[in-house]
Amino acid sequence: MRKLSLLTSGVILMLSFLMVGCNTMKKLEREAIETAVVGKVSPQQLTAVDGMVNFNYNVAFAPKQFYKKLILKVTPKMQYPGGEEAMQPLYFQGEKVRGTDYPVVEYKGNTMATYNLSFPYRDGMQKGILIADIEAIMGNKSVDFTPAILNTNGVKEWKSYVYSLPSNPNAIPLFTETFVKDVPATGVGVVSGYVLFPLAQSAITDAQKKSTVMSQATKVMKEVLANKDAKITNMIMYVSSSPEGPERLNKNLTTNRFKAAKTFFEKDLGLANTPMAKDAKFIVSNLVNENWDGLYLLLDDSNIKNKAAIVKDLKAASNLAKREAVLESYIKTVPELKDVVLPVLRRADFFIFYTVPAVMQVEDQATAYYVPQLQETSVLSAQTDINLLNDLAASAIQNKDYRKAKKLLESAAVIKDQPEVFNNLGIVYQNEGNNAQAQNMYTKASIKKEAKYNLGMLLLQQKEYSKAIPYLKEMPNINLAYAQLMANDNRAALSTLKSLNLTSGYEYYMMAIAAARLKDTQTMAVALQKAIQLDSQLKEKARTDKEFYPYAQETIYLNIVD
């Protein structure tokens, strides 16, 4: 038989049977103290870590307390609302018990022992009570005592919280440096508008001058000009003529439309006689005499039933004269082509780019641009400047109009391989859920730091933390620290966090976690205190966050969360 070793820990809470000289179970029942408590639990506050509750169970017996022929069965149980969790029973036997091999309680000595017990955590155990069922056995007889209450503090669950991205911004779109240099996309604004011309004419009607589009553009332009921090960089003008009718007889029609529109736009927008308007390089013009590509694009967006056949027939024409003849034939049979589609091609558009240090407010709505072409049918074609296509797409991305951005960028990609275009296409593909194509585009655009950052954010969202870190270092922010923390590069995460201007409770909470993992108690305490000051809800979270479990008994931690 095994002898129980004497231990010095624990407070003796005894079960007294008063059984000296007793040899019958009846006398055992009569003389037993049923309310006796056997053992003590430590710690007093039971805790669950990773779904398991571990605790010490200390038992002790005084000299001459445990009858020599007695077997004692003690079964610890956690009772809680909705259930019960029983542990393996503990057995003790007196010196004269035969046929069993339980730990022996010495009759004349102080016998103490400590058992490391555990049970799985269940919801509801926060209000549970730890008890012990006690059964005394002698020979073939037994008696159950009133269960002993061991602990009434319930279970405190230390959780492994799922940490989400502290800042999950949209990917950064890129404007071309031709128009705007060294300015983040969020600081670039575009004001745009257009007028439509009658067939074969270059005069602008009063209705067009007072249109809703021009009225809104003028209003926004006044806001820009009134902002001392706004800097207008340039103005793009796109002028086109439709490819049908007598317009072809006047080779100067598109040029005349440009001149008329330039004069009107400058006056209406308040740019006339300004230094920028007098700069010959301020206006970049793009003229398309017969806008066939615009026609194809409009047809594709239209509800004309046989639109695919029309485009196919036009493109199959062997020369310009035959293509014009095909168009004339369809005009006669498809009224919508004549009345709706072709008139939109007779137009002059302007795009004024400017930079601002912060987003401007227009009609109480945050906006950095007004581009009606992004909400209305576009007629931009592959003949248009690639930079304009890209920059309008960047604005569309800011406006979350990814469908429009994709069309503009695909047109731009036909003209030239350009990193800004690849970066912005990556954003479009990412928002379509095509992460493989998005990653490919970002990689092609990786000459730009924004593209590297976008790739890092894509990898971060895919939980590829270690792979994301080198790319996020191009533009260090809280997301880099998050990636480092999730990759368990805690020293690097803490260093990054210390270098940033932290503003939110969640950011300081991340710093506290990094410091806790590094056992930097002082930094942990300062960061956690700041986090709770900024966001009081974090206090409750910190009380049960497994990251701080090593500090559960430390005063510096308890003073913050209690």
Count Cβ atoms below 10 Å from residue 146 Cβ, excluding itself.
13
Band (20; pLDDT cuts 50, 70, 90): very low
For residues 68 and 107, the answer to whether their CB atoms sit within 8 Å is: yes
CA distance 142 to 26: 10
Give the tokens for residue 92.
């003790």
Whether residue 47 is predicted with pLDDT greater than 70 in this model: the reply is yes
pLDDT at 2: 44
DSSP conformational letter for 187: G
**Are both 185-382 and 385-471 of the same fold?**
no
Q: Which residue has the higher pLDDT, 516 or 273?
A: 516
**Is the pLDDT reported for residue 310 higher than 90?**
yes
* pLDDT at 369 exceeding the cut of 50: no
What is the pLDDT averaged over residues 504-516? 96
Q: What is the pLDDT of residue 202?
A: 94
Higher pLDDT, 210 or 369: 210
Percent share of the chain, pLDDT over 70: 86
Q: Does the structure show a pLDDT above 80 at 180?
A: no
CATH of domain 385-471: 1.25.40.10
Q: Give SS3 for 18.
A: coil
CATH number of this structure's domain 185-382: 3.30.1330.60
29 pLDDT band, cuts 50/70/90, is very low
- Is there a cis peptide before residue 246, judged by omega within 30 degrees of 0? no
Asked whether the predicted pLDDT for residue 253 surpasses 70, the reply is yes
Per-residue tokens: 367: 């906006």
| Helix, strand, coil in percent for the chain, rounding step 5 | 45, 20, 35
Task: Write down the pLDDT at residue 414.
Answer: 79
Burial of 442 (0-12, 13-18, 19+ CB in 10 A): buried
Q: Report which of residues 11 and 78 the model is more confident about.
A: 78
Query: What CA–CA distances, in Å, run from 390 to 177, 298, 424?
Result: 11, 19, 8
144 with 394: CB under 8 angstroms?
no
Least confident of 216-220, 301-305, 464-468: 301-305
Instruction: Answer whether residue 323 shows pLDDT above 80.
Output: yes
> Which fold is adopted by the domain 25-157?
Immunoglobulin-like (2.60.40)
Percent of the chain with pLDDT over 90: 55
Q: How far is CA 346 from CA 321, 341, 446, in A?
A: 20, 10, 39
The domain limits of the chain are 25-157, 185-382, 385-471, 476-561
Per-residue pLDDT reduced to its tens digit, 117-144: 999 999 999 999 999 998 888 888 888 8
Edge-first strand listing for the sheet containing 283-288: 283-288, 231-240, 347-355, 188-196, 369-370
Three-class SS state of 167: coil
The reported pLDDT for the residue numbered 57 is 94
pLDDT (0 to 100) of residue 17: 40
Residue 380 pLDDT: 60
The pLDDT assigned to 16 comes to 42
Position 15 scores a pLDDT of 39
Token pair 């803490």 is found at: 494
How confident is the model at residue 234, as a pLDDT?
87
pLDDT at 228: 87
Q: Both tokens of residue 458?
A: 């894509």
Instruction: Average the pLDDT over 252-261 and give the result.
Output: 94
State the alpha helices, DSSP H only, in 18-140.
Answer: 25-31
Q: What is the pLDDT of residue 195?
A: 94
pLDDT at residue number 146:
80
Range 338-352 average pLDDT:
91
Helix (H, G, I), strand (E, B) or coil at 4: coil
Which pTM value belongs to this model?
0.69
Look at residue 237 and tell me whether its pLDDT is greater than 70.
Answer: yes
- With a cut of 60, say whether residue 557 has pLDDT above it: yes
User: Residue 182 — very low, low, confident or very high, per pLDDT cuts 50/70/90?
Assistant: low
Q: Which of 219-228, 316-325, 356-365, 501-510 has the lowest mean pLDDT?
A: 356-365
Mean pLDDT, the chain, integer: 85
| Between 229 and 37, the higher pLDDT residue | 229
pLDDT digits (tens, 9 = 90+) for 523-554: 999 999 999 999 999 999 999 999 999 999 89
